[in-house]
Structure 1
Amino acid sequence: MEITRRRLLSALSAAGLLAVVPAAPAGAAAAAGDTARLLANTVALFAGTEASNARPETAAKLAAVEKTARANLKAMDDAGEGELFAGLVLGTDEANLNTAYRRLYETALVTRTPGAPADLYGDAAVQRRVIDALVWLHERYYGDQSKGYYGNWFHWEIGISQHISRTLVLLADQVRAQRPELIATYLASMDAYLRNGKNGDVDLDSRFHTGANLADITTNRILQGAVMAEGGDARIGKALTDQLTVFVTVDPYDLRHGVTDGHYADGSFIQHGSVAYTGSYGKGLLTRVVQTLLILAGTGYAHGEELVPTVYGWVRDGFAPLIFEGWMMEIVKGRAVARTDSGYTDVAVVVEAVVDLSSLASGAAATALKSYVKHIGATSRTPLDPSRFVSPLSIVRHADIAADASVPPADLNPAARSVAFNAMDKTVHRRPGYAFALARSSDRISKYEYMNGENLLPWFQGEGAHYLYLAGQDQTQAYGVDYFTTVSPYGLAGVTAPVEQRRTVPELYGKPYYDNPGHPLHFTSSSESQNTYVYFPRGTNGWSGGAVLGAYGAAGLVQSSDVAYRDREILPADFVVYRGATATKSWFLLDDEIVVLAADVGDAAGRAVTTAVDARIAAPDDRITLTGARRGGRPWTGPGTAALRWLRYVNATRHTAVGYVFLDTPPVRVALDRVTRSRRVVRTANPDTAVTRAVLGVTVDGPAGAEPASLAYALVPNATEEQLRAHRHGRPLAVLSNTARLQAVTHRGLGLTAANSFTRGRHETGDLRVEGPASVLVRREGRGGARGTTTVAVSDPTMARDTVTLLLRGRTLRTVAADPGIRVTPARGGTRIEVDTHHAYGRSFTVTLRG
């Protein structure tokens, strides 16, 4: 094999995976034995074994495999002239060709699935039909390289190759006996279609061969190597070496091959260079690497046990914070938010990977993973359906975990947790009764993702849009595709948007992308210009981030127009750009409240703007009530516009409530509308299904030409009227500053002060002075804070500063504990704290003081 110790140590040292040294098989006999084991592992993974398939838990899976295969065989029987499957037109639609190959894999699968009916399992005639169909497809629609590679590159380089490779593995012996030349023929074609690679192989410098895409391609090539007559060992070795690069934690200051895709130290996951994508591509990567570890188990190609801790870290730090009661949060799904699959479906994919990972782990890690599987099963509002797992072996493992009384259900999250995913501009704040998810963006991270007619109305999804998940609620009734279908894209919760009417990409250009290959920027369907300006544009301001202190957090964002508006002078004349509104915003994340401050809210072009304090959906027949109090104290019931002190929204049918405390806010418009739209408005491939929802909108309107405004309010999850009435001016919350330079609040009950400074220079608030820009939290505990413990957390949200300095006024404090890079010194009037933030990439630094 071509994997050397030096090569692997060099590739993996950044992730600390120094022990991952695949052992080369010693000689041809050993290599053949390893290949045979790899093939057997792969068949078992997808088809199950005699033992697994005899278990009653796999019966539904086996029935589904049989049903799918019989439907495919009937479609082949009913095919007309020029068709392989009835009604599936080939030759111009690469998605149909991908479907044809997938159906052949599904049909081959049943013939290798123990427990399938006798007329299918091991049936030579069915296997012969699949092999003949492979020959037919290659001769007519796949083998001619000059006619192939139309449409979406993914199908040609990944999807079709995946189905072919798996089919060849399932029928390896039969293909070798009946059409021995077919394997080499297909391998040559699959290599030829790897056009974003190099010489028919992976190119780690290609922007197409990163993250989840790289894992898919390399797993395909591992399977291909296993069926090769000769030279397969080298292919497997090269593919594994390439795949091992996805295990390396991305260091933004030392990029390998210029790649920003992958997992970051703070738990973030990025795909497409700048899209937060844990909930879509991230789960795909997790699935693929775990499957690869399983198919390589017991061979000389890898020592997977050394890789398991890294993958466990992804689950604990990257996935678990984003999963709430079995639901994957919207902030990390990119264009997939517009698909009809729910967040529960997303998490089921993660659960299968975690189940399989637990079988590879040992000790405390294995127990923690199994406990997490049980926790998700116990808290999910939609029961998990293991029969939809890919592998029958996974179904059996899941059943064994569920039946193991020695494994208690346990979350990988502490009950109270605040997480700053600053590398991907996202924030998650969790408490036992709710989870709050915030989508930010910057000149580093995209505002949204649109592609292939998916997520047609995306413009403000990274502009501070938030999602408040309430415990005990079926989240399909609160978020998912129906939220984006029925809530106006200009009125997404938390968003400040100009009052205007934008058009979707297909409406603008008559196709799912902007086409202008002759322009110097060369716009084609998958060009870098398309990515930059159409598919996932970034913002133009670098201030986006926040700090975490224990279970509390602060986050902020300076809203900006995207790069298309900035670069409008160099773009084609018919390319449509949109200008954004202005706003400087902070979110201070406490126990019972999420405090939101907004300053400089307006529009440089003089347009009217709206700020959505919140937007929530409910079933049309749910019993909704709105109560509140005006500033003068008189009761208020909506809908309508009023100067409110507080507002409470109750869905009695779902037993949920949200409160809003208006600390310093102009009159609020409260609307409760019945909205009916087709799910196709957000994704062209969605069924034309009309959905009706009762949509709450709590909005602050800014008229055209008005001076920039400021807003201050708090979201109170699960609020009672007593809680809301208890909020008085300055108690327990007080706004210390709300300008475009400095935003700060204090909570007397918690002894907590939190501040975001957005500009250079000194910023003073109370007994805190900050040399901005920075994000800071200060908590004083014990003896009223006078001589007790003071804990401080500091972050650089711009990710561009070498040092952040602050002064705590009052008596001089001494250091009890401090993160590396913090210097504490006495200063006139207080205690000076200097934090080395060079190359910290938004990480929080914490120091504990006493005085």
Structure 2
Amino acid sequence: MQHKIFFVFFLLLSRIVLHAQTINDVEKIKERLYNLGMERSSPVESAVDQPIDNMFNSMDASGKWPDIDYQDKTASKWLPASHWKRLLELSIQYRDTKSPHFNNDTLRNTILTGIGYWLKLPPQASNYWWNAIGVPNLMGSVYILMEKDLNDRLKSRGIELIKLGVKPTHYEYYGKATGQNLLWLASAHLYAACLSNDIEGVKRVFASVGEEIKITEEEGIQPDFSFYQHGKQNYAMGYGKGFTASAAKYFYLANQTAFQFTPEKIAVISHYLLDGQQWMSRYGYLEYTAMGREIARKDIDRTPLTSALKWMMDIDKPFYNEYLAFYRRLSGIKEEKPLVGNRYFWRSDLMVHQREKYYFSLKATSDRISSGESGNGENIKGFYQGNGTYYLVRTGHEYDDIFPVWDWRKLPGLLTKQTAGTFPLFTWGTGSEGNKPFVYGISDSLYGCFGYDYDKENVTARRSWFFFDNEIVHLANSINGDTVYQSINQSLLNGKVWTSNLNSKNPGNQMAFHDSVGYCISPIGNDIYLKTTEQTGTWKEINLSASAASISKKVFSLGIDLGTNANNAAFSYTIIPAVSLDQFKKYNLTDHVVILQNNNSLQAVHQKDIEQVQAVFFSSGTVELPWDNISLQMKQPGLALIKKVNNKLVIDYSQPFPTKHIEIILDNKIVFVNNEIEIRKKE
């Protein structure tokens, strides 16, 4: 009997100790939230628009600021949110021991009056994001900082508003929230739970976040480490950027508490950062096609990534050096060596090719995914983004704030009809899906090629790109459509432009040079378009919440005009990045690159310097290899990388996915046959 009593007593004592420890852990998390607030590390953008003294002195007696339109219904940049951004900054000033306003009673009363004004009749945004996510997270930061000064009425009513998107069984965002929206809503819930000492609420937050940190084929981190949000569109540098920051922040908050995340969850974010987002960036540049609507916002925010990397350096010590290198590159430290390699993000139809002196990304759209979206008045002209568009980056400044003045029908890499008037809207991605399944790439981690059976707005073509060390080759064939134009580049004008034989009757390559990039163009009977001019536009033309002030920039634009009625047209061009004009003048394309085939069924290129053939088979076919009378037959559509290494062929091929690898010794009787390919040597 005594043993039973002792056991029950021990069990009760253990539960009491565990409960006390959990309470201590909640206090530890609250303290960390407080510190994040003091560091201005808000889950949502919180920069203020006025000096401190102006904000302090301009609030009226009712608790509002006269310069804020509290009836505003703007969707993306909702003006009343500035009320909480200002209260947050004032709260920081009130708590900061180094501030001249530290513990200032007048400032304290100003903050409380501002809180009270909002709680009487909270303004409602037309965009639910502000009501359920944006304002609640700002409120949560303010409430954590000012908790000791809040009376019960302010505290309870505030917590009620902070928890707007928290339902008994799920987080609500136009239905059950997923991805970054869920992590934002959980953040608001965490503020509320800590403020009310709701241990079960805190448990629910970390459990829900843990469930969302996973590899998935729904919304969230994809198996290739791209990121889906709002359906099947790559948002790795939009919502996915915030997802990384939120997840890493949760790791920091829960570290060494009862809510600590497992190593497996931390590994998911580690892979996403280092194998996904890191490859979609170069120094200060972030991949434009992975931003979604955010490309129409003036300032690209790298803070979520740098914040995440700092937290991960502290949490995930084994990968400290990799995080630090990525952080240094994002911060623009050129002494940090860039990535070198080729990555194919097969879930998002994206290929990224990085070399020491340049970054090149190609984005296409199959019938499996969406190219992007407009919405909330943002990205009004972005309908063609992601349809064979690419970006060539050396310094990271080639496209700085070019978006208001861009001709959005001549995006770099775009093949499309040239019409006037407004752009089609593709609200939340509707109508931005591709039309064909054969949109695939293949990569051996250093080189790659990409095939695109293109079909958009009655323009069709077979298109392929081939990625080498010093060249990117683009072949196009079977082009049909009205008023079709192929954009080769459209970037900020930087320095003089040099040309040779442009639009001459010479059937060979015609050459252009600009900003340390050479272009060898074979228009095959079509005209080359070259323009250097000042272009004018406004941010408001692409984002209804932005400024209507006129902006002008000098722009370099190069392309191929295929005329008013393209009928089985074709062309090829090669981009030679990171080269001087003197070097380019001496460059002879055929010394390095030979086009083996460019037709409706097969496009193939031989790079002599590395002895590699890359081929895209739109249907079954055979390519004659440049070594020892060898041919490779693909028995169905697919892609192949064939490299001669000493006395063997190293072959990566896909039909079209996943990639398979074989190696064949070159001898007099070479033959390889399976159900997919045949490799034979002619007798």
Q: TM-score range by the shorter chain?
A: 0.7 to 0.9
Kindly state the Cα deviation for residue 303 of structure 1 after the two structures are TM-superposed: 3.9
In structure 1, C-alpha distance between the alignment counterparts of 2:171 and 2:489, rounded to whole Å: 46
The equivalent of 1:298 in structure 2 is: 256
2:413 to 494, 499, 504: 494
Who is 1:839 aligned against?
none
Distance (Å, rounded) in 1 between the aligned partners of 2:332 and 2:288:
21
2:300 corresponds to 1:339: no
Partners of 2:206 and 2:549 lie apart in 1 by 44
Q: Residues 227 and 304 of structure 1: is their aligned pair in 2 closer, same or farther, counting only changes over 3 Å? A: farther
Corresponding letter in the other structure for 2:382: P
**CA 1:445 to 1:46, structure 2 compared with 1: closer, same or farther past 3 Å?**
same
Contact preservation (8 Å) 1:417, 1:430: yes
Structure 2 counterpart SS, 1:692: strand
Q: Is the 8 A contact 2:475 2:573 kept in 1?
A: yes
SS in 2 for 1:685: coil
Aligned residue pairs, count: 651
1:236 counterpart = 2:202: yes
* Contact 2:604/2:623 (8 A) holds in 1: no
Equivalent of residue 90 in structure 2, options 107, 111, 121: 107
Q: Compared with structure 1, are the counterparts of its residues 630 and 104 closer, same or farther at alpha carbon in structure 2 (3 Å cutoff)?
A: closer
- Aligned partners of 2:63 and 2:115 also within 8 Å: no
Task: Measure the CA separation in 2 of the matches of 1:593 and 1:207.
Answer: 48
Write the deviation string for residues 162-197 of structure 1: whole angstroms up to 9, x where unpaired. Answer: 11122221122222xxx2143333333444x32xx7
The residue identity in structure 1 corresponding to 2:295 is V
Answer whether contact 2:513 2:581 (CA < 8 A) is retained.
no
Asked if structure 2 preserves the Cα contact closer than 8 Å seen for 1:549 and 1:792, the reply is: no
Tell me the distance in 1 between the aligned counterparts of 2:305 and 2:378: 23
Query: Relative to structure 1, is the Cα distance of residues 493 and 30 closer, same or farther in structure 2, using a 3 angstrom cutoff?
Result: same
Match of 1:132 in 2: 113
Question: Post-superposition shift, 1:370?
Answer: 2.4
- Give the C-alpha shift of residue 758 in structure 1: 2.0
How far 1:540 sits from its partner (Å)? Answer: 1.7
Question: What is the aligned counterpart of 1:460 among 384, 391, 394?
Answer: 384
Query: Are 1:727 and 1:733, in contact at CA under 8 Å, matched by a contact in 2?
Result: no
Show the 5 A alignment for 1:778-793: 778-782=642-646, 788-793=647-652
Which amino acid in the other structure matches residue 644 of structure 2?
R
Aligned-residue Cα RMSD (Å) equals 3.3
Q: Which amino acid aligns with 1:351?
A: T
SS at match of 1:531: coil
Residue 776, structure 1, aligned to residue 640, structure 2: yes
Cα distance in 2 between the residues matched to 1:276 and 1:833: 35
Does 2:501 correspond to 1:611? no
Q: Where does 1:123-202 land on structure 2 (aligned, <5 Å)?
A: 123-141=104-122, 148=124, 150-175=125-150, 179-191=151-163, 193-194=164-165, 198-199=167-168, 201-202=170-171
The gaps in structure 1 that reach 5 residues or longer are 1-22, 50-63, 143-147, 253-259, 381-408, 506-512, 515-529, 562-578, 783-787, 814-828, 837-851
Distance in 1 between the 2:189 and 2:18 partners? 22
Cα drift, residue 808 of structure 1? 7.9
1:98 to 78, 81, 105: 81
The equivalent of 1:822 in structure 2 is none
Contact 1:445 1:539 in 2 (8 A): yes
Q: Quick one: structure 1 residues 706 and 581, their matched pair in 2 at CA, closer, same or farther if it must change by over 3 Å?
A: closer
Question: Partners in 1 of 2:659 and 2:574 — Cα distance?
Answer: 32
Calculate the TM-score normalised by the size of structure 2: 0.87
1:481/1:448 Cα in 2 relative to 1: closer, same or farther (>3 Å)? farther
> Which secondary structure state, in structure 1, belongs to the residue aligned with residue 473 of structure 2?
strand
SS at match of 1:597: strand
Shift of 1:27: 4.2
1:586 correspondence with 2:464: yes
Q: CA deviation at 1:479?
A: 0.6
Q: Alpha carbons of 1:244 and 1:70: their partners in 2 closer, same or farther (altered >3 Å)?
A: farther
Q: Which residue of 2 aligns with 1:625?
A: 497
Amino acid at match of 1:265: P
Q: Is the 8 A contact 1:745 1:753 kept in 2?
A: yes
- Which residue does 2:574 correspond to in 1? 714
For the residue of structure 1 that corresponds to 2:237, the secondary structure is helix
User: Residue by residue, what CA displacement relative to the aligned partner does 1:213-255 show, whole Å, maximum 9, x if unpaired?
Assistant: 11111122112111115xx1111111111111232011x3xxx
Deviation at 1:198, TM superposition (A): 4.5
**TM-score normalised by the chain length of structure 1:** 0.70
Query: 1:91-144 CA deviation, whole Å, 9 max, x = no partner?
Result: 453723322223222222222233222xx22334433432333232122225xx
Structure 1 distance, partners of 2:15, 2:312, is 24
How big is the shift at 1:762? Answer: 4.2
1:262 aligned onto 2:220 = yes
Contact 1:327/1:347 (<8 A) preserved: no
CA distance in 2, matches of 1:710, 1:809: 36
SS in 2 for 1:627: strand
Aligned to 1:42: 33
Equivalent in 324, 327, 331 of residue 373 of structure 1? 327
Q: Which residue of 1 aligns with 2:519?
A: 659
Q: Which amino acid aligns with 1:737?
A: Q
- Code of the residue aligned with 1:89 in structure 2: it is D
Q: Which amino acid aligns with 1:426?
A: L
DSSP 3-state at the match of 1:491:
coil
| 1:84 and 2:64 correspond | yes
SS across alignment from 1:540: coil
Aligned counterpart for 1:209 among listed residues 169, 173, 177: 177
Using the alignment, how far apart are the partners of 2:659 and 2:344 within structure 1?
20
Mapped partners of 1:490, 1:246: distance in 2: 38
| 1:494-526 per-position Cα deviation (integer Å, ceiling 9, x unaligned) | 111112124146xxxxxxx89xxxxxxxxxxxx
CA contact (8 A) 1:545 1:796 kept: no
Paired letter, 2:375: M
Q: In the alignment, which residue of structure 1 is the partner of 2:307? A: 352
Q: CA deviation at 1:207?
A: 6.1
- Are the structure 2 counterparts of residues 285 and 707 from structure 1 closer, same or farther at C-alpha, using a change threshold of 3 Å? same
How much does 1:302 deviate?
1.6
Partner of 1:692: 552
Q: Which runs of 5+ in 2 are unaligned?
A: 1-13, 41-46, 626-630, 678-683
Distance across 2 between alignment mates of 1:729 and 1:532 = 40
CA distance in 1 between partners of 2:601 and 2:613 (Å): 17
Q: What is residue 681 of structure 2 aligned with on the other side?
A: none
Measured in 1, the distance between the counterparts of 2:185 and 2:379 equals: 26
Which secondary structure does the structure 1 equivalent of 2:531 belong to?
Answer: strand
Residue 245 of structure 1 pairs with residue 211 of structure 2: yes
Partner secondary structure for residue 378 of structure 2: coil
The aligned counterpart of 2:613 is 753
- The 5 A counterparts of 1:322-333 are 322-333=280-291
Cα drift, residue 617 of structure 1? 1.9
Kindly tell me: are residues 100 and 776 of structure 1, through their superposed partners in 2, closer, same or farther at Cα, counting changes over 3 Å? Answer: same
> Displacement, 1:740?
2.8
Range 298-307 or range 550-559, more displaced:
298-307
Shift of 1:489: 1.4
Flag the 1:294–1:808 CA change in 2: closer, same or farther, 3 A.
closer
CA gap of 1:354–1:24, structure 2 versus 1, over 3 A, is farther
Mapped pair 1:420 → 2:344: yes
Per-residue deviation at 1:203?
5.6
Identity across the alignment (%)? 18
